Structure 1
Amino acid sequence: MTLSPAVTDVPGLLARWATERPDAEALRFGEVRRTWAQLDERVRRLATALRAGGIGRGDRIAVLDLNHPSCLELTLACARIGAANAVVNFRSAPPEIVYVVNDAGAKLLYVGPEFAAAAAGLADRTPTVQRIVTADEYEGWLAAHEPEADAAPVDPEGCFVQLYTSGTTGFPKGVMLTHRAMLAHSDNVAHSFEVDPTAVVQVAMPLFHVGGTSYALLAIAHGARMVMLRTPDPAAVVRQMADERITHTFLVPALLAAITRVPGVAELDLSAMRTMSYGASPMPLPVMRACLPLFPGRMHQVYGMTEACGVVSALGPADHEDPAVAHRLVSAGTPIHGCEIEVRDPATGAPVPTDAPGEIWVRSAQLMAGYWQLPEATEAAITEDGWLRTGDGGHLDADGYVYVTDRIKDMIVSGGENVYPAEIERVLAEYPGIADVAVIGVPDERWGEVPRAVVVAPEGIDEAAVLAHCRAELAAFKCPTGIDVVDELPRNPTGKILKKELRAPFWAGRERRTV
């Protein structure tokens, strides 16, 4: 199914379904039920509330919460008034939350019940925030405003959701996702994965991640029923698949591994599933073998990035189950509908031959508008002719399958979360006694890989104290799992740390890759 040519913005989607299917269920969250007409009315009330609070075109708000319909409703309301929702990674440490809220210049901060006390403590460090709305206040705030009848035209190129991705400078970058890009992604994914109004889409991944927000927008774009979970508890996820007759979902391999161990999972009726998508980190082959009987003919490995609104390539069921092409299981598949993928020389930008290594480049209508207030980083990432330089290394084979073999940007992918060593290195460099530092990814059976620090500390260190320092400044998944002290770090003649040498002992006999 494709979108109506007349629908060029997100508010147009709600208007369409509220008119065509007003009483059909649009969203389910626990005991909460919303029809398309109800969802549209709530979003129009929120649009009025945001305008009354002085929020308008080009402004940002922020949401700090576990998954909840309020975050999605606020994103849709921002889309209606030309503002944007900067969804905060709720796993972040307080300094990281402060950075994101201040970087976005958020005028309003919505906080869930688990974060209300923390947000109050951050109030004096987030000067742009004019109002904090708590979960307890939300329904009253919404009900106090009349639904907006008409809205000014929306710019399809306007950003309405801003998701943060870790940066090589040590600070996260705000990825500006537009109406046109998100709708293109929804169209391309629906074309490849058969999403239509009969679908039941599970949103289990966090909304601060494209695997959450983009998947939710996919359901809205095509009039599908959405079922959202507050947290991705393995037992709850798989039982919801059976109870709600879920047809489409996206999960990370660590969650799928846990699902295969849920007692009685093999007896659940999961036959409604059409597309079980997984990605964001490597899938161990034993986990894949355990998943195939649960979702026969339904497994789709996907490769993507925030800068492209989500998925750009996929490996379908046939390639998962045909022993004649078993080598493709370590690939990221082929480009989805509407996406082009090439491998270029990272130094010259010239295409490389088949099977030759290089940097993966992507071109599609679903690319970001750029990085928020970082024009130089945007220019470095997107070429004049519209190619996104992903920073991932890999190659294309003769059949057009893309293999992602390493990360040119030196990124660590841990349990589906992107971790940049520069962020951790910045925190460690501030610790007394550490003279030099490098952070690398090392293999981990559960998370694929995890960060580990290598430091130069002439007087030695108290490892427990250093790790406690990291936990106070960084989200738990970013904290090193261990620290090695060395006399000096290996460097090339220009002074660049040779992280490949540091990683080599840990990855000996293993294949390091991203999927």
Structure 2
Amino acid sequence: MAVLASAFGDALALHADRIALSDPDHLLTYRDLDRLAEEAGRWPAALAGAGGVVRAGIQAPNSAAYVVALLAMLRQGVVPFLIDGALGPEEVASIADQCSLDLLVHEADREPAQGTAAGALGAILELRVTALRRDGRRHALRPDTEVCRFTSGSTGHPHCIEFSGSAVSQAAVNWAAGTGLRSDDRIACFAALSNGLAFNTSLLAAFHVGASLHLTRGLPTGAHVSRVLERTAATWLVGFPALYEAAVRRGLDRSVFDRVRIAISSGAPLRPETRAAFTELTGVRISNYYGVAETGPLTFDPHPGAAAADDGADGAALGTLLPGVVMEAGGEAPAEIRVRSASMGSGYLNAPGLFEARVGADGLYRTGDHGVLRGRELFLTGRTSRMINFGGRKVDPVEVGNVLRLLPAVRDAVVFEVTDRHGSPAVAAAVVAEPGLDVPALRAHCRTSLAEYKVPGFFRLVDEIPANAIGKPSLDGLRRLVGADDHG
């Protein structure tokens, strides 16, 4: 039996009568989850003749059905490809082609542009299965690959990271050991399961120790957060900075946080003032977590100090190394963070050689981030990547700029990061265009090719792109042109 099918199977059997999973519509014990995964595993005839290992993309919001589908795939030896739910049909079609997907599991109202409907997943009917048209190519998977996830590459195309079953299993085991996750914990997860924050901290890790995972979907507004915490009596809170910003703005009742002992933020830097305000409001200190899509979780701080002391001259304090992590970074001065972990990916399926080029002879992966390592404690000082990172998603400015320049009336465009009125990262674009082209047209054009989260929230039509002394676009000048209150 494959590693992950065995690991999940052991958990389901060991904790059979405990609550395993909930969403707004379902409450499942481990025994229930086992039964539903067995029913969903009676795959439709679409699998016949697929040839080799079947590859199934899954694109759906957080739900019990998502987890059931994932477990059913693993049991049947199907390799799941976890696709961001925000990606549009063209982007999903590109992934399906690049990765030679056979099936797509999706919501009923999100039928892919091409394919043949192949039924529903057992007793949980929210998700459908579509058999995709194959063109005869088969991009070879590594023999031990059991799960594939995606990250944004330097060209803007999602890179498909292959993970062995052992790497995913070790991520769960080491996360539980390094964070003190317990069987009586209840995790309220606001991050999408396709994202590393949720996948590594809130799925197999919870099942490994017999904890319960409570999934939610939708924007993490203050009212939404409050309802979920009351419904689940959560002891862990997992989300991106936007969740904590919303909680602070709403001024939630402190009592809904009475049971929360761990709150985790990741995906983008959390402003110190938000961290301090959240702790003052709730009595809960936010634990930093650092991970890279290609390597899994790397650091965690289960006992964060006072908010004012979290960050210092060395940079943002991101906790101590998790078990199974070997890291090199700066000592006296910041340097690029290089890392090897027990949960590291094997390579990019759709970009051969690119992953390997970032791994040195010593097996350490170059993250592109800069930091300082004090003993086993990491301080992040900066990023070498131009990626705009917010809400756990990455936007490549080059990709968005290229889409804008496809419009004949656009003479030039520069895409860059700004801070919105709440202090959160946002995507902005300065565009030089022929007369008559307006912002609504630019936004509509972007939506035809890009996921909604990649569409700039701020546009500014300009006569020319401001440049610095060596002729490159001046980011300071661009940011002065685009104010946080100017939504185009």
TM-score tier, shorter chain, comes to 0.7 to 0.9
CA distance in 1, matches of 2:310, 2:101: 53
CA distance in 2, matches of 1:217, 1:375: 28
1:340-387 superposed Cα distances (whole Å, 9 cap, x missing partner): 2223xxxxxxxxx52423322121011112112321212223334322
- Correspondence 1:395 to 2:371: yes
Quote how far apart the aligned CAs of 1:276 are. 0.7
Could you say which residue in structure 1 is the equivalent of 2:475? 502
Could you say which residue in structure 1 is the equivalent of 2:234? 246
TM-score, normalised on structure 2?
Answer: 0.84
Could you say which residue in structure 1 is the equivalent of 2:391? 415
- Correspondence 1:381 to 2:381: no
Aligned with residue 23 of structure 1, among 17, 25, 30: 17
For 2:293, the aligned partner's letter is T
The 5-angstrom pairing of residues 8-407 of structure 1 reads: 9-49=3-43, 53-54=47-48, 58-113=53-108, 116=109, 118-119=110-111, 122-123=113-114, 129-131=115-117, 133=119, 139=125, 158-214=144-200, 215-234=202-221, 235-262=223-250, 264-268=252-256, 270-296=257-283, 298-309=285-296, 311-321=297-307, 323=309, 330-343=316-329, 353-392=330-369, 394-396=370-372, 398=374, 401-407=377-383
Could you say which residue in structure 2 is the equivalent of 1:472? 448
CA distance in 2, matches of 1:62, 1:45: 19
CA distance in 1, matches of 2:291, 2:419: 21
Quote how far apart the aligned CAs of 1:260 are. 2.7
1:184-203 superposed Cα distances (whole Å, 9 cap, x missing partner): 11122111211132221222
- Report the CA distance shift for 1:313/1:459 in structure 2 as closer, same or farther (over 3 A): same
1:395 match: secondary structure: strand
For 1:67, the aligned partner's letter is N
- Report the CA distance shift for 1:134/1:384 in structure 2 as closer, same or farther (over 3 A): farther
For 1:383, the aligned partner's letter is G
2:31 match: secondary structure: helix
- Tell me the C-alpha RMSD between the 2 structures: 3.3
Name the structure with the higher helix share.
1
CA distance in 1, matches of 2:236, 2:269: 20
1:223-270 superposed Cα distances (whole Å, 9 cap, x missing partner): 2111111335432333322342212231111111112334642232x2
Contact 2:144 2:164 in 1 (8 A): yes
Contact 2:18 2:210 in 1 (8 A): no
Quote how far apart the aligned CAs of 1:331 are. 2.9
CA distance in 2, matches of 1:294, 1:139: 40
Could you say which residue in structure 1 is the equivalent of 2:137? none
Contact 1:440 1:503 in 2 (8 A): no
CA distance in 1, matches of 2:240, 2:298: 16
Quote how far apart the aligned CAs of 1:17 are. 3.0
2:410 match: secondary structure: coil
Structure 1: which 5+ residue stretches go unaligned?
1-6, 124-128, 143-154, 344-352, 509-515
CA distance in 2, matches of 1:182, 1:396: 27
1:317 match: secondary structure: coil
For 2:236, the aligned partner's letter is H
**Count of aligned positions:** 465
1:212 match: secondary structure: helix
CA distance in 2, matches of 1:322, 1:485: 40
CA distance in 1, matches of 2:389, 2:44: 36
CA distance in 2, matches of 1:232, 1:488: 34
Contact 1:434 1:455 in 2 (8 A): yes
For 2:21, the aligned partner's letter is L
1:403 match: secondary structure: strand
Quote how far apart the aligned CAs of 1:78 are. 2.2
TM-score, normalised on structure 1?
Answer: 0.80
CA distance in 2, matches of 1:56, 1:211: 33
2:194 match: secondary structure: coil
Contact 2:53 2:78 in 1 (8 A): yes
The 5-angstrom pairing of residues 422-461 of structure 1 reads: 422-446=398-422, 448-457=424-433, 461=437
Could you say which residue in structure 2 is the equivalent of 1:4? none
1:306-357 superposed Cα distances (whole Å, 9 cap, x missing partner): 2123x212344343447597657733333222222223xxxxxxxxx52423
CA distance in 1, matches of 2:46, 2:412: 51
For 2:74, the aligned partner's letter is A
Quote how far apart the aligned CAs of 1:134 are. 5.6
- Report the CA distance shift for 1:167/1:506 in structure 2 as closer, same or farther (over 3 A): same
Contact 1:109 1:132 in 2 (8 A): no
2:323 match: secondary structure: coil
CA distance in 2, matches of 1:503, 1:466: 23
CA distance in 2, matches of 1:335, 1:91: 31
Q: Comparing 53-62 with 129-138, which one deviates more in the overlay?
A: 129-138
Name the structure with the higher strand share.
2
For 2:103, the aligned partner's letter is L
- Report the CA distance shift for 1:478/1:10 in structure 2 as closer, same or farther (over 3 A): same
CA distance in 2, matches of 1:488, 1:237: 41
CA distance in 2, matches of 1:486, 1:407: 31
1:261 match: secondary structure: helix
For 1:335, the aligned partner's letter is L
2:409 match: secondary structure: coil
CA distance in 2, matches of 1:503, 1:135: 51
2:394 match: secondary structure: strand
Quote how far apart the aligned CAs of 1:278 are. 0.6
- Report the CA distance shift for 1:428/1:333 in structure 2 as closer, same or farther (over 3 A): same
Runs of 4+ in 1 over 6 A off after TM superposition: none
CA distance in 2, matches of 1:18, 1:46: 16
Quote how far apart the aligned CAs of 1:168 are. 1.4
Quote how far apart the aligned CAs of 1:414 are. 2.5
Contact 2:403 2:446 in 1 (8 A): yes
Contact 2:99 2:350 in 1 (8 A): no
- Report the CA distance shift for 1:417/1:199 in structure 2 as closer, same or farther (over 3 A): same
Could you say which residue in structure 1 is the equivalent of 2:135? none
Q: Comparing 68-77 with 323-332, which one deviates more in the overlay?
A: 323-332
Contact 1:26 1:226 in 2 (8 A): yes
1:33-79 superposed Cα distances (whole Å, 9 cap, x missing partner): 22222212322333331687236763321223221122222222222
For 2:357, the aligned partner's letter is A
